C-alpha cells in the first residue's frame, strides 16, 4: 500500500471515489459544474484543499480530502478532514488507517494544534474506528450551516 498526493491525472478516479462516498452516504453525486470546480480548486495557487490517495498495487482504492482552518484559541492551524473513503472491497486492509495517519503526519508537519472532522450519526463503523484511535465525540459543540440559498438570502438582506 502506498499513500501519495493526488496529481491532475488522478482526478477522474478521485471523482469516482467521491461518487462512491456520496452514494454510501445516500447523498447526490456532484454535477458537471461541481466536478469542474473540484478540478479548478484542487490545482489553484494556492490550492483550496489537498487530497491524499491510497494505492494498492496499481489501483487507487481510497482518498482523504482535507484543508486548513485556524483556531484562535490555540493560535495554530487546524487540519480539517472533509472526507476519508475507502472502497468497500478494500476495507479492513489498513488503507483507511494509513490515510488517517498520513493526515495526522501532515497536521504535525504544519504545526496544527488539532485535527477536526465530522461523522454522520448513523455511521457506527466509522464512529468505532475513530474512537479506537483515541478521538472523542464533541458533545458540547453543535454544527451549524448556511447553505447557498441562505447565504444569498442573508447577503441580499443588507
Which residues are designated catalytic?
Answer: 130
Separation between Cα atoms, residue 84 and residue 64, nearest integer Å? 4
SS3 category, 145: coil
**Which helix (H) or strand (E) element contains residue 5?**
strand 2-5
Q: Which residues contact 114 (CB under 8 A, 6 or more apart)?
A: 71, 74, 76, 78, 79, 107
How many C-beta atoms lie closer than 10 Å to residue 71's C-beta?
13
The three three-digit cell numbers of residue 74, written as one number: 490555540
**Beta strands, E only, 7-158:** 50-56, 59-71, 76-86, 114-116
Q: What separation, in Å, do the N-terminal and C-terminal C-alpha atoms of the chain show?
A: 53
Q: What is the DSSP letter of 114?
A: E
Amino acid at each position: 500500500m502506498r499513500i501519495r498526493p493526488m496529481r491532475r491525472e488522478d482526478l477522474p478516479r478521485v471523482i469516482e471515489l467521491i461518487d462512491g462516498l456520496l452514494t454510501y452516504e445516500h447523498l447526490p453525486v456532484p454535477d458537471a459544474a461541481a466536478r469542474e470546480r473540484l478540478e479548478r480548486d484542487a490545482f489553484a495557487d494556492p490550492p483550496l484543499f489537498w487530497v491524499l490517495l491510497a494505492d494498492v498495487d496499481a489501483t487507487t482504492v481510497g482518498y482523504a480530502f482535507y484543508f486548513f482552518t485556524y483556531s484562535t484559541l490555540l493560535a495554530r492551524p487546524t487540519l480539517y478532514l472533509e472526507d476519508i473513503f475507502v472502497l468497500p472491497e478494500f476495507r479492513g486492509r489498513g488503507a483507511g488507517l494509513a490515510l488517517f495517519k498520513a493526515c495526522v503526519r501532515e497536521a504535525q508537519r504544519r504545526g496544527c494544534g488539532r485535527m477536526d472532522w465530522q461523522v454522520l450519526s448513523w455511521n457506527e463503523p466509522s464512529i468505532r474506528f475513530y474512537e479506537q484511535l483515541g478521538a472523542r465525540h464533541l458533545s458540547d459543540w453543535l454544527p451549524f450551516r448556511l447553505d447557498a440559498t441562505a447565504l444569498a438570502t442573508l447577503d441580499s438582506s443588507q
